[in-house]
Structure 1
């Protein structure tokens, strides 16, 4: 008898008076931040654990999926966009860009990423022979070559665990333990990654 009562009380607690308030919207987004899953076009493979990236060879562009807590889909395969979500790398070097022009919340919540090898000027981001620290890519606030600047530093990048692979079509799957801690803390109004915004 106790189990049905607990289930009913839990359902009431979750649903009563909570529809679309900022608190519940933020909990939904925090939950979506924990995973990444997207499809795209390209070829190669890339594995990431935090800032450490191993990409024997990868040239991939995400077309649709869930990243940064947002569902996204590029219109016309991104041909009209100045910058599209891409991964390029070979041997010890890899750059990652995650920026979708029609998703301003990615910028507002600090989920957009320009990650390049350290010590590399962004106008040389596709040069695998640049002098840099091998197997490391770190986020930056600016992508000078494209005239873009992020309003927030993407802290959650440091917790990414992702795998991208494909031949023609690509698949990205990932988890982010930092985002999971942020999600759990959010229930108690502890916003570790400062990504709660409470708006649609």
Structure 2
């Protein structure tokens, strides 16, 4: 079984459990983020938010992003995010969770173990870029996907066209990471 198939098999467990919805820039009660085992704080002098979880996962949230944290196994720790709008920059340390962490969007599922990557939803498509590590990406209805390495990205539009992994140009990477102050 390929690496991406193993990652997806372990990471795509049924999405049950605690779901918390966040809107970046909105006031979020500390009890909500604490229920997911995470602490939400504003990044000083910016409109971005930083979500720190006890297992080492950090998520920089672009201003205006809309996402939900999901605790599938109800252990008090977020193990997935459902992203509806804008972008998240995630840093998931190796061993962060037995099944890894995944980001689910309308067009794609990105699943990882120990990596730094960005997921962006806008204009009816999902873009995934890997800074460090490996990320498996597939359409929600697909059985197979692609595996991205450092510097790789993929744009997932509605439909069933094959996913194409590309080395992203420096200008595109810089523009995306600048949205997170990176």
TM-score norm. by structure 2 comes to: 0.30
Q: Which has the higher strand share?
A: 2
TM-score norm. by structure 1 comes to: 0.28
